[in-house]
A and B are shown apart, each in its own frame.
Chain A
Amino acid sequence: MSFLRYIGKNRLTITFVLLGLLIFLFIIIPLAKMVFSSVSDTETLWETLLDPEVSGAIGLTLFAALISTIVGFFLGIPLAYILARNNFPGKRLVEGLIDVPIVVPHTAAGIALLFVFGRNFFLGEAFEKVGITFVDSFAGIVIAMIFVSIPFLIDSAKEGFKKVDVRLEKVARTLGASPWQAFFRITFPLAWRSILTGNIMMWARGISEFGAVIILAYHPMIAPVLVYERFETYGLDYARPVAVLLILVSVIVFIVLRTLAYRGDKS
């Protein structure tokens, strides 16, 4: 009786929980199924990990995503701050354009990048003169990753800066701080958590990028491309262990970083 009454009283919660559960299982089951069915076959997994092509690809993915995040940090944070603090005509347009990489199909993004950073455009030409080429190179992987993942960093950092009361900067100024000092001693530390979250998101997004990278740089081979190649050439059984490793590594690193960021927030 009381159980029925409970259901009667909480119909909305129960309905939403059931629907939520559905989508949660949809995310979890494929990942879990693949990971667990491979983990039981430890030998193959171990062999795959020791395959220099696989470990090299995973390492390259993590490293390239890290480099793009670092570049994104130095170029994205200033823009995020400007957008958080200033109003100017066309600001909405700028904000909208920054988010465009999220909605553009990533293969199309790769083509667009190839156009600009290829040899037939002055930018690509200019970089080539200083010895940087973007086709089938590490630099190509990095710019592809930056392009598709920078919106996450900029948006997150911008929200973080907005939450810092502008009068904190004003007070700092009256106390003798230059605009730079006010930024680095007050605003930046206070927005740090959002910036860190943005960086983690950007890094994670970089690791998972496939479409834009494969257009610019099939080689050197990042892990998502390797998964694709093995699937195309040898079939599901060969692609799966690599995919599992990639998922495991990404998830572990993601969890570790999130935990660190969370702890930083608590203290």
Chain B
Amino acid sequence: MIEVNDLSVDLGEFVLKNITLAIKEGEYFIILGPTGAGKTVLLESIAGLYPIKSGEIWLRGKEVTGVEPEKRKISIVYQDHVLFPHLSVRKNIVFGLKMNKVTAAEQDNRVNWVAELLGIGNLLHRKPDTLSGGEKQKVALARAIATRPELLLVDEPLSALDPETRETVQQELRRLHQALGITILHVTHDFEEAIALGSRIAVIGEGSLMQVGTPEEIFRHPNSEFVARFAMTRNVFLGKATKQSNGDTVFQVDGTEFVIAGETEGTYHASIRPEEILISTEPIRSSARNCFPGTITQIQDKGSTLYITVNAPPELSCLVTRHSFEELELRKGKRIYVTFKATSVHLFD
């Protein structure tokens, strides 16, 4: 559908280089990266709005690298909507249709179609500055899809919204993608958003593409420390994997030995997802191979869940629900046990 070959973009302070992506027809593709990684510029380069240093962009088998943005059939939705403030909602939507010389009758059809699709029929006569954040984002989406683009680019569409609206717009995006079968390229810094929406995810950071894969692959098998840290795996350790005489492979870190799956040896990073670590007041007898005593050093309240830092050593970050937090009477300084499976420890370079 769209292929980006060895794209390099000069961002002034740093260079985004060697970006190679192949997005399939109808895919919901996420580019995940921290703020300032050049995600917006990458989208603008694909849309032809930002000059590239080198590389190629192919859309449906045609090279569009030097093609003007108005001829690419790629629409963009920015984080903060960027609606035309002097035009009504209807005129915002009609703008692209007029530019594409769509007939007046067809303009009406398309406006009705997108208005119904996004449930904004009652907003058509309003000016953008009278709309709420969620409404603006829907109008921006409506404007972008009314021209029937081949590719829809969305830049952090949920970041500027409050949590509740975010949920609605996220569902809206998923629904749009399913209903229209449109190819979407979505950039975000939010891992959960990426997992929730993406059929595949590309992680960018430090000026280049770090990993491309399904959410599951990124989630379970980050290929680098950068990706692991980004993938909210808060437990990333550098240590040594060695085979023991009893046939187990262990990973040594800070004097503690984690039993791990596989037979790899050598110096590696290991990651353990916080939600895969159990906390208990007594040692647990189970098939889980790793069980260590430790002291609670930090408690981070996230509302319905809490991150508990336990020093075994090393320090492990564990995710618990508020219910178990209260039931176990967890508090700073308390001695507890942490338990996790050998397969929960993921090794990478």
Contact = CB atoms under 8 A, between A and B. Distances in A.
Contacts of B68: 173, 178
B69, B74, B75: residue with the most chain A Cβ atoms closer than 10 Å:
B69
Interface stretch (A13-21, A28-36, A164-172): A164-172
A84 interface: no
B76 A171 contact: yes
A174 B84 contact: no
A96 interface: no
Contacts of B179: none
A175 interface: yes
Contact of B82 (A167, A185, A189): A167
Interface string A63-95: 000000000000000000000000000000000
Interface in A176-217: 176-178, 181, 185-186, 189-190
A175 B143 contact: yes
A177 B96 CA distance: 7
A175 B96 contact: yes
Contacts of A181: 99
Contacts of A185: 95
Contacts of A165: 82
Interface residues of B, number: 24
B76 A176 contact: no
Nearest to B149: A174
Interface in B39-58: 44, 47-49
Contacts of A172: 84, 95, 99
Given A173-B49, A173-B68, A181-B99, A167 B74 contact: no
B163 interface: no
Contact of B147 (A170, A175, A178, A186): A175
B324 interface: no
Contact of A170 (B49, B95, B143, B149): B49
Nearest to B40: A167
A181 B101 CA distance: 13
B111 to A, nearest CB: 14
| Size range of the chain A interface in the assembly | 10 to 19
Contacts of A173: 48-49, 68-70
A67 to B, nearest CB: 30
Nearest to B102: A176
Interface in A141-182: 165, 167-168, 170-178, 181
Nearest to B93: A175
B78 A167 contact: yes
A151 to B, nearest CB: 27
B86 interface: yes
Nearest to B143: A175
A126 B203 CA distance: 63
Given A165-B82, A167-B78, A190-B86, A174 B49 contact: yes
B335 interface: no
B312 to A, nearest CB: 49
A65 B74 CA distance: 47
Contact of A171 (B72, B82, B100): B82
A175 B49 contact: no
Given A177-B99, A185-B95, A170 B44 contact: yes
A175 B77 CA distance: 11
Interface in B294-347: none
A170 B69 contact: yes
Chain A CB count within 10 A is highest, among B72, B76, B144, for B76
A171 B86 CA distance: 14
A172 B75 CA distance: 9
Given A181-B99, A185-B95, A174 B82 contact: no
A189 B48 CA distance: 24
B85 interface: yes
B84 A168 contact: yes
Interface string B61-87: 000000011101011101000101110
A175 B95 contact: yes
21 contacts: A167-B78, A167-B82, A168-B84, A170-B44, A170-B49, A170-B76, A171-B82, A172-B84, A172-B95, A173-B48, A173-B69, A174-B74, A174-B75, A174-B144, A175-B95, A175-B147, A176-B99, A176-B100, A178-B68, A185-B95, A190-B85
Given A174-B49, A174-B149, A175-B144, 13 more contacts: A165-B82, A167-B78, A167-B82, A170-B82, A171-B76, A172-B84, A172-B99, A173-B49, A173-B68, A173-B69, A174-B70, A177-B70, A185-B95
